[in-house]
Structure 1
Amino acid sequence: MVEMVREVELGENSNLVNEVIGFVNSGLLLRSVNQVVLGGAEISDLATAKKYAWVQVYGEESFTWADLRSEKMSEVWDVVYGGGEKYTEMDIKLSELLDELSRSVQKQLLPKHRELLDDIVSDLKCCLYSRAVQGKTNEFFEGILSAYLSGGWPCGWVGGWPKGSLLVYRDDATDTGGIGDRP
């Protein structure tokens, strides 16, 4: 039984935030739903995906995948923490959901995916905040959400940052898109 994360009322973007919550509540995390992630590369080897997520560096600054996500999230935090009372209330409401979100994600993960818990919760939190603050205008986090909605785990980047595309691990991916066993 998947623990339900409650919906939240945040004003104009509530429906977008609640779409993310609805997905978490659907029990479809990392489950194939036969959708394709457009414009990204896919891999099916979990060990390789973890290397891309945790070891590989991207771009001239040699950012890790976590650094890239953090860099993109800083744009959202700038709005949240610089936007006054409206965003303070939103931050409180979303923060109250994070423990429920984490428990729900944890219950859905297969044993082989348990190591991914922190990354997945962090990604979904970023998607919630991005949608609350920016609607669907943040292409980076909308791409990450799209990867999850299609049953994948966004684990890195292919091509020179910021050009290129999202790399997505899927348990059932058959075509590696030329990625092979790098890095």
Structure 2
Amino acid sequence: MNVPPRNPKARWCESCRHGEFTGLPVSGCVTGDWGLASPASIRVARFIVRRRWMPRISEEMTMHKTEIFRPAIDLIGGDVLLRGNAASEGASRWHVVRDLEQAEALAWQADDSVDVVWNDLREQQTANIVFEGEGEVWDYWETSLSPRFDAYLSERGWSGLCDDVVGDLYYICCNKHSDSGHRLWDEMLEVYRAGGWPCGWGGGEYPDGRLAAFLPTPRE
């Protein structure tokens, strides 16, 4: 990552284009060829760059990654996730399931009893969800956000659905961020916003048919 020079008198290193701070014992790049620079000069310059820029860069990157997951964060911020909904605008488009065991069967069965194997369909729909910095985004999700969703669901009695829900929310947000255009993830987000859980696909091979949605009894 190129760090813009903070000092207006700073120059750019011609070899690697990293910022170069003037006023040090020598002119040189903190990552490039220091020429006659002494080890002490190198340590001083590196310290200055880290101290001045890294906290700011880290904060900006964290804010950016947080915004990628804003649709998911809003679900727990508004206490909507798996809250339940007696009626929803999207319910007419979905095959609504009210029984959890039936919903789990639709979601996890992988035999001829279901029109479409739900796990397989979701895996297929992750194709082309690719964007710059995906590895860092995944690490941020796993270390900073995923534990929050696990705790939220467990506290409300939904620990058995944690893996499915957390995985769904990751790809829902990444699909929106990357503009991949997979409408399945957008429709799944609508189910989550309605307080439900997308649990399968029926009525035909995707994209024919419709989404199955578990809508639990609304909690007080």
- Secondary structure at the counterpart of residue 73 of structure 1: coil
CA distance in 1, matches of 2:210, 2:143: 31
Q: TM-score when scaled to structure 1? A: 0.71
- Please, which of 160, 168, 178 is the counterpart of residue 115 of structure 1? 160
2:214 maps to 1:160 = no
**For residues 26 and 143 of structure 1, do their structure 2 counterparts lie closer, same or farther at Cα, with a shift above 3 Å needed?**
same
CA distance in 2, matches of 1:7, 1:31: 28
Number of aligned residue pairs: give it: 153
**For residues 59 and 125 of structure 1, do their structure 2 counterparts lie closer, same or farther at Cα, with a shift above 3 Å needed?**
farther
**For residues 104 and 58 of structure 1, do their structure 2 counterparts lie closer, same or farther at Cα, with a shift above 3 Å needed?**
farther
In proportion to residue count, which structure has more helix? 1
- Secondary structure at the counterpart of residue 97 of structure 1: helix
Determine the structure 2 residue equivalent to 1:138.
Answer: 182
Determine the structure 1 residue equivalent to 2:123.
Answer: 70
Residue segments in structure 2 that go unaligned for 5+ positions in a row: 1-60
2:76 maps to 1:21 = no
Contact map agreement 2:126 2:171 (CA 8 A) in 1: yes
Determine the structure 2 residue equivalent to 1:9.
Answer: 64
Identity percentage of aligned residues? 24
Contact map agreement 1:17 1:131 (CA 8 A) in 2: no
Determine the structure 1 residue equivalent to 2:82.
Answer: 30
Determine the structure 1 residue equivalent to 2:99.
Answer: 45
- State the 1:130 CA deviation: 0.5
- State the 1:118 CA deviation: 0.2
Letter aligned with residue 145 of structure 2:
L
- Secondary structure at the counterpart of residue 32 of structure 1: coil
**For residues 100 and 35 of structure 1, do their structure 2 counterparts lie closer, same or farther at Cα, with a shift above 3 Å needed?**
farther
1:1-39 per-residue CA deviation (whole Å, 9 max, x = no partner) reads xxxxx97416xxx86642332224333210135533241
Q: Tell which has more relative contact order, 1 or 2 (C-alpha 8 A, sep 6+).
A: 1
What is the root-mean-square deviation in Å for CA atoms of aligned residues?
Answer: 2.9
- State the 1:144 CA deviation: 0.7
Query: Which segments of structure 1 move beyond 6 Å, counting only runs of 4 or more?
Result: none
CA distance in 1, matches of 2:211, 2:143: 27
CA distance in 2, matches of 1:7, 1:21: 14
Residue segments in structure 1 that go unaligned for 5+ positions in a row: 1-5, 81-86, 174-183
